[in-house]
Homo-oligomer: A and B are copies of this chain.
């Protein structure tokens, strides 16, 4: 049997380059060529078979295998696996270069990476900044509500609809309004046991503030989901849930990240309510699931 240099039994994880340097002096010329290739381009070498690497380095398969052994692996196969791992690490290591803004001439791959990164950031920010006390109060109000009205226009209108759709699924009587007139008309109907929710990024969207004010004055519990907790909308809100505001740019309108943030808040509301009303929510959820099943094709 041969002796295993490189110390103990376990093969090298990421310290491969170092090991190559350490062991290089004890290597023969052709083995050095192999080791050099391996250390220089792990990703490239990982794609090669023994024969391929042998040809690339102008040596033979036997030499490649010998080198692998010297580096502490049972054979070339395992060296290759380690190489793949190393390559992946290096790959992921130089990831966080995506903080830059999206430019007009960015390739699509960059656009995808940047958008995903930004939205992830927005989520983290929102979660960190969300006031769980306010959230809890809002959930309590919703869980006991006779009726829920949600106001939102433009991009926030979709979030409002999303929330009402979800609440409907767990048995609440929820309605989303994006028509300001109808919203006000309905707000008049609200009373003590009801809840009104206004969703507005700017915190100053008149079309949304107005119905909230009406609901507030009629004694309903009011909730504002806004990126500007100091904005006019908070005036009429019993509970304010703050969404985060990400930097925007020409190619990345504020609506994009505010939407992500709003949706997270809305999801939290939903799950919170579903928890509190689990007895009724669970059957309602599965019922709506069942009801939709036959709408799918084989």
Contact = CB atoms under 8 A, between A and B. Distances in A.
Question: Which applies to chain A's interface (DSSP): helix, strand, loop or mixed?
Answer: helix
A37 interface: no
Contacts of A127: 112-113, 115-116
Interface string A232-260: 10000000000000000011110110011
A252 B271 contact: yes
B104 A253 contact: no
Contacts of A202: 296
A251 B271 contact: yes
Contacts of A296: 202, 204-206
Given A88-B88, A268-B108, A250 B116 contact: no
Contacts of A116: 123-124, 126-127, 264
Interface in A38-62: 46
A160 B289 CA distance: 21
B112 A297 contact: no
Interface string A69-97: 00000000000111011111101110000
Contacts of A155: 162, 165
A102 interface: yes
Contacts of A162: 155, 158, 259
Interface residues of A, number: 78
Given A88-B14, A106-B275, A251-B271, A132 B154 contact: no
A119 interface: yes
Nearest to A103: B275
A105 B275 contact: yes
A207 interface: yes
A263 interface: yes
Given A108-B272, A112-B268, A169-B253, 16 more contacts: A13-B91, A14-B92, A89-B89, A105-B275, A108-B135, A108-B268, A111-B268, A115-B267, A116-B264, A155-B165, A158-B165, A162-B259, A205-B295, A205-B296, A205-B297, A259-B263
18 contacts: A13-B91, A84-B85, A92-B92, A105-B275, A106-B275, A111-B271, A112-B130, A116-B124, A116-B264, A119-B264, A158-B161, A158-B162, A169-B253, A205-B295, A205-B297, A232-B298, A251-B271, A253-B289
B115 A268 contact: yes
Nearest to A127: B116
A209 interface: yes
A107 B132 CA distance: 9
Interface in A255-298: 255-256, 259-260, 263-264, 267-268, 271-272, 274-275, 278, 282, 285, 289, 292, 295-298
A120 interface: yes
A126 B260 CA distance: 15
